[in-house]
């Protein structure tokens, strides 16, 4: 399932037609903070519209925005940002698919 998710997200992020780019945003100067430990990771963040993931992934909500961070070739963290997604550079809290709490922002606001 993880490989299918990564392949789908890579397709969404890389191959979207120009008309649909509004639902996927790349934040090259992103950061995420794992709330349990306070550890901050400076990463590139992809913001993906839930409608691009559903119905292929039943956990996806069509009204929700997701932050996706690719770590290694077969590793990614998908964070549910809620309906409004990342509206402010200073960040928004979200929960990943395993229930862990994260803050997603632009540097240096993590």
Domain range summary for the chain, segments of one domain joined by +: 2-106
Confidence of residue 6 (pLDDT cuts 50, 70, 90): very low
- The pTM for the full model equals 0.78
Q: Could you read off the pLDDT of 55-77 as tens digits, one per residue? A: 999 999 999 999 999 998 889 99
Confidence of residue 21 (pLDDT cuts 50, 70, 90): very low
| pLDDT exceeds 50 at position 18 | no
Confidence of residue 11 (pLDDT cuts 50, 70, 90): very low
The answer to whether the beta carbons of residues 30 and 45 sit under 8 Å apart is yes
Closest among 2, 85, 7 to 49, alpha carbons compared: 85
User: Three-state DSSP class for 95?
Assistant: strand
Neighbours of 14 (CB within 10 A): 9
Q: Could you read off the pLDDT of 73-107 as tens digits, one per residue? A: 889 999 999 998 877 778 999 999 999 999 999 99
Q: Could you read off the pLDDT of 25-51 as tens digits, one per residue? A: 899 999 999 999 999 999 999 999 999
Neighbours of 32 (CB within 10 A): 23
The answer to whether the beta carbons of residues 71 and 65 sit under 8 Å apart is no
């Amino acid at each position: 399932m993880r490989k299918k998710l990564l392949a789908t997200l890579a397709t969404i992020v890389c191959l979207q037609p120009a008309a649909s780019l509004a639902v996927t945003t790349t934040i090259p100067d992103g950061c995420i903070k794992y709330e349990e430990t306070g550890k901050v990771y400076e990463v590139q963040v992809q913001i993906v519209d839930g409608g691009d993931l559903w119905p292929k992934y039943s956990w996806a909500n069509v009204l929700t925005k997701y932050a996706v961070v690719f770590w290694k070739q077969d590793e990614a963290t998908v964070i549910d940002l809620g309906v409004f997604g990342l509206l402010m550079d200073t960040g928004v809290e979200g929960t990943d698919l395993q229930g862990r709490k994260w803050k997603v922002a632009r540097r240096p606001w993590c």
